């Protein structure tokens, strides 16, 4: 199949932006005193096309898949942890499960290519392309057809979800390697700068991981286009996320981007459709080496910096209350006029 990239139009609307800014400036507070919360409120108003934005039925989707490169020792954990953690998500015991419950986020887990067969149950979508990608050092992690099917799956998943906000999560032993490879190739950075401890490797193991990833880059030295790189370096969960992000952006949903892996999916989309960045709120800067470089390449400013490197969507869930607060300020906070509060006088402004 050939995947058709949906249109992601420019959201720039100077009239709406001016109205939103005027509304924020005239709230009962010193000008700009809510700092980055005001910029977030403005962005959410623009995405949702409203001076009174409201986030409805938020969807946390955790995309899971296994990686052929894991067999080369790039992770501190065996591949079986992928399916075991999927079971943990579904049982409600994982960090993202706890945070999703706390913040009222609907949680869906997608088997994009886990090396395990799951019993059907609520909250699980099986969209398995294959039981894990191939070894990117030996050839492409996935075929073009597999990549396109994964992206189409992501698109269809989002089409079937209610609400106007998508929070991205992922699970896959070896997926920091895929994200590092995508960053190195699409941003033109040295692989050593893009590679971190992942699940908790020591310095010697990180050095071995860099050697493996360098081998994968050399194996695909002729690959430079974003979708070709996605197929070469893989991640069925990343490719499915790419499709989900494209569809969410097309539908003008707010996209809350978690850490390094989720950002790598946005990195691919941004290379295809730069306007996607207008719809993305980056939850946090993770402790994974390479994420700061990826955010800088994307020109993204994350909301939080807590040293997280768990994945799962945990950072997106933690940032979620800030989005709710930003919308509430726009909708509910009084203006100087409506509250009968005096504004700063002209001579005070001059002084």
* Cα(202)–Cα(340) distance, integer angstroms: 60
Q: Is 131 exposed, middle or buried (0-12, 13-18, 19+ CB in 10 A)?
A: middle
Which ranges in the chain belong to alpha helices (H)?
14-25, 36-48, 80-91, 95-103, 144-159, 175-187, 191-194, 203-219, 226-233, 236-250, 260-272, 291-298, 314-332, 336-339, 346-350
Largest CA distance in the chain: 71
* Cα(36)–Cα(51) distance, integer angstroms: 18
> What is residue 14's three-state secondary structure?
helix
Distances (CA, A) of 129 to 51, 97, 101, 185, 239: 42, 25, 29, 24, 11
Asked about 312 being catalytic, the answer comes back as yes
Place of tokens 């509910």: 332
* Cα(175)–Cα(74) distance, integer angstroms: 9
* Cα(94)–Cα(114) distance, integer angstroms: 17
Question: Closest Cα partner for 72 from 140, 115, 136?
Answer: 136
> What is residue 68's three-state secondary structure?
helix
* Cα(172)–Cα(66) distance, integer angstroms: 5
Q: What would the two tokens of residue 56 be?
A: 């409805």
* Cα(238)–Cα(133) distance, integer angstroms: 11
> What is residue 306's three-state secondary structure?
coil
Catalytic entry in 312, 332, 337, 343 = 312
Please identify every residue annotated as catalytic: 312
């Amino acid at each position: 199949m050939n995947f058709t990239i949906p249109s992601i139009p420019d959201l720039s609307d100077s009239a709406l932006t001016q109205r939103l800014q005027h509304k924020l400036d005239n709230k009962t507070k010193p000008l700009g005193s809510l700092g980055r919360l005001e910029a977030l409120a403005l962005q959410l108003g623009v995405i949702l096309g409203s001076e009174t934005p409201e986030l409805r039925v938020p969807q946390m989707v955790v995309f899971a898949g296994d990686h052929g490169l894991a067999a080369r020792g790039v992770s501190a954990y065996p591949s079986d942890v992928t399916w075991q953690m999927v079971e943990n998500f579904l049982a409600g015991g994982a960090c993202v499960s706890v945070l999703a419950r706390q913040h009222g986020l609907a949680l869906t887990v997608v088997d994009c290519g886990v090396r395990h067969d799951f019993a059907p149950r609520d909250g699980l979508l099986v969209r398995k392309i294959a039981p894990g990608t191939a070894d990117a050092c030996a050839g492409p992690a996935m075929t073009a057809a597999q990549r396109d099917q994964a992206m189409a799956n992501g698109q269809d998943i989002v089409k079937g979800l209610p609400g106007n906000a998508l929070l991205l999560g992922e699970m896959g032993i070896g997926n920091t390697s895929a994200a590092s490879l995508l960053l190195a190739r699409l941003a033109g950075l040295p692989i050593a700068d893009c590679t971190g401890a992942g699940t908790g490797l020591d310095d010697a193991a990180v050095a071995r991981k860099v050697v493996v990833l360098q081998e994968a880059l050399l194996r695909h030295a002729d690959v430079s286009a974003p979708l070709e790189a996605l197929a070469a370096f893989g991640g069925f969960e990343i490719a499915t996320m790419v499709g989900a992000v494209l569809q969410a952006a097309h539908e003008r949903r707010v996209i809350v981007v978690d850490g390094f892996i989720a950002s790598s999916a946005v990195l691919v989309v941004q290379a295809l459709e730069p306007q996607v960045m207008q719809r993305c709120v980056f939850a946090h800067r993770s402790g994974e080496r390479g994420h700061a470089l990826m955010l800088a390449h994307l020109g993204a400013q994350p909301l939080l910096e807590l040293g997280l490197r768990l994945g799962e969507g945990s950072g997106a869930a933690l940032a979620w209350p800030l989005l709710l607060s930003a919308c509430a300020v726009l909708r509910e906070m009084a203006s100087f006029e409506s509250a009968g509060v005096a504004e700063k006088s002209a001579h005070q402004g001059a002084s």
